[in-house]
Structure 1
Amino acid sequence: MTTIPLTSVCDRGGSDTGKQVLRIEPSKGWVAVRFGELWAYRELLFFMIWRDVKVRYKQTLLGAAWAIIQPLFTMLVFSLFFGRLAKMPSEGLPYPVFSYAALIPWTFFAQGLNQSSDSLVGNQNLIKKVFFPRLVIPISVVCAGTLDFLLAFLMLLGLMFHYDIVPTANVAWLPGFLLLACMTALGVGLWLSALNVKFRDVKYALPFLIQFWMFSTPIAYPSSLLTEPWRSLYALNPMVGVVEGFRWALLGTREGPGPMVLVSGIASALLLAGGVLYFRRMEKTFADVV
């Protein structure tokens, strides 16, 4: 959107009425991101994050416990089929904690992607009635998932205590890996949310995309099963660097994920930049199409 400066209003005779009008017009072509505009609407962003947190488990019997149940149940299934039956290597770590440490950032990413892709359609009444930076909507949805992440993280600490695993100083890198997961979820979510406004097929195709992406990420298995140069190409999946980074920071896996994190970080930054530009390009059509 382009904001036109205040202009005076004249009556039919051409005399100045003393009134001023602020005109807001659709932007043309590719539009730059105005971070100052986002900052000006920061209170709205915080309000929408709080709103999403409040309604996430509204009228559910177990409430916020679902934030722990979902990755925990998946971990039990993985431990049975991949750990016991398939005998998948786990880099010398107990398989339950090996898989759960990867499922926490993955669940954060998958839920952020799933909810951000449908965020514009879910807030269509707000989009049609009020002017504000539309980027606020998917950003708030992704950020709201941080609470679920923290609750699930407490369960991981319990597992680490049970298996006598003490985190090293590498745990200081954990916020960086969480930021990388957030960037990836937001980047892809911006692409899909803009597409979903026009093509509602996105919400039907998304579960298949998330399932394929999950098995393309080293959650049930270690990335060490791959050798170079395939391992570097594998790291083009941004969640590879996130998952391996989490295991290294928390569980002290033998091999540092430095090169993989670098490749994943570049891929995530490109996804985010492309998502923001495409979102801004399509933003002017949202109110008419949604």
Structure 2
Amino acid sequence: MNSQKSIAKQELLIEAGRTEQQYWQDLWRYRELFYFLAWRDILVRYKQTSIGIAWALIRPFLTMLVFTIVFGQLAKLPSQGAPYPILVFSAMLPWQFFANSLSECSNSLISNANLISKVYFPRLVVPTSAVVVSFVDFMISGMILLALMAWYNFVPSWRIVTLPFFIAVAFAASMGAGLWLASLNVQYRDFRYIVPFIVQFGLYISPVGFSSSVVPEQWRLIYSLNPIVGVIDGFRWAILGGESHIYLPGFILSLALVFWLFISGIWYFRKMERKFADVI
């Protein structure tokens, strides 16, 4: 009888790993939750829309068209020896990935508040799944770039083999900035209004519609304080080849900032993680 009572009193305690090693092991254990959240967000994003996932193609295509007309046809800016639509879209890909990641990550914890407040799992799963969903849009939008290359009979040089490296840099930049905004948005709900402004303003100060080579030489290093500048220049260097080049001091600076953003984003997220369930 006493043994039955002791069994009845036993409880299952679920808690976060006490060490960093246990935490990263928990990430692997909860990989199925990661798949579920990412797949759910992909399905929900275009649910009940008439053309569905085609929006991932239409939005960047229309933006590219506007930039081509304004900067290529009206302003007559240089295109680094490539057709201007390809110049623009080779920058649209990493920019859209970065911008979508910021928007999705910043709201990811708030959107999953019920899940976060009830059960334990590594909270890092939530913003990471948001970045992966944005990466799916990135891959879909890449079909437009392939179509543009076919239309203009544009064949990339050997540099295209370096593109995975610049994709990894874009992923790190998106992840780092996304973790910062996700954490801050839980503490300060004002960031739900700040993030759209950051995305809109960032589009104007990033070399999406034009080549960063038009920036005066004395301002190039300061301009590279925007970490996405190095990412975009890297994409163009890999895709366009030919006359495109990387401003090495600025690229190194951007790369260092991306690395700092990624490491500090993880650090700040882990620091705030234990408070999420109470604050959210």
Q: TM-score, normalised by structure 2?
A: 0.90
- 2-side partners of 1:51 and 1:116: how far apart? 15
Q: Percent identity?
A: 46
Query: How big is the shift at 1:128?
Result: 1.1
Give the SS at the match of 2:243: coil
Query: How big is the shift at 1:47?
Result: 2.0
Contact 1:247 1:253 (C-alpha < 8 Å) held by counterparts: no
Q: Residues 228 and 85 from structure 1, CA distance in 2 versus in 1: closer, same or farther, beyond 3 angstroms?
A: closer
Provide the residue aligned with 2:278 in structure 1.
288
Query: How big is the shift at 1:270?
Result: 0.5
Query: How big is the shift at 1:37?
Result: 2.1
Structure 1 unaligned blocks of 5 or more: 1-10
Q: 28, 31, 40: which is aligned to 1:42?
A: 31
Alignment RMSD (CA, Å): 2.3
More strand by share: 1
Provide the residue aligned with 2:269 in structure 1.
279
Contact 2:16 2:121 (C-alpha < 8 Å) held by counterparts: no
What letter corresponds to residue 276 of structure 1 in structure 2?
I
- 1-side partners of 2:242 and 2:96: how far apart? 21
Q: 163, 170, 174: which is aligned to 2:163?
A: 174
- 2-side partners of 1:23 and 1:229: how far apart? 60
Q: 155, 165, 168: which is aligned to 2:154?
A: 165
More helix by share: 2
What letter corresponds to residue 274 of structure 1 in structure 2?
S
What letter corresponds to residue 54 of structure 2 in structure 1?
A
Q: Which moved more, 1:269-278 or 1:87-96?
A: 87-96
Q: Residues 162 and 131 from structure 1, CA distance in 2 versus in 1: closer, same or farther, beyond 3 angstroms?
A: same
- 2-side partners of 1:46 and 1:248: how far apart? 33
What letter corresponds to residue 108 of structure 2 in structure 1?
S
Q: Which moved more, 1:214-223 or 1:132-141?
A: 214-223
The total of aligned residue pairs comes to 275
What letter corresponds to residue 78 of structure 1 in structure 2?
F
Q: TM-score, normalised by structure 1?
A: 0.87
* Superposition pairs of residues 193-272 of structure 1, within 5 angstroms: 193-228=182-217, 230-257=219-246, 259=248, 260-272=250-262
What letter corresponds to residue 280 of structure 1 in structure 2?
R
1:114 aligns with 2:109: no
- 2-side partners of 1:281 and 1:136: how far apart? 15
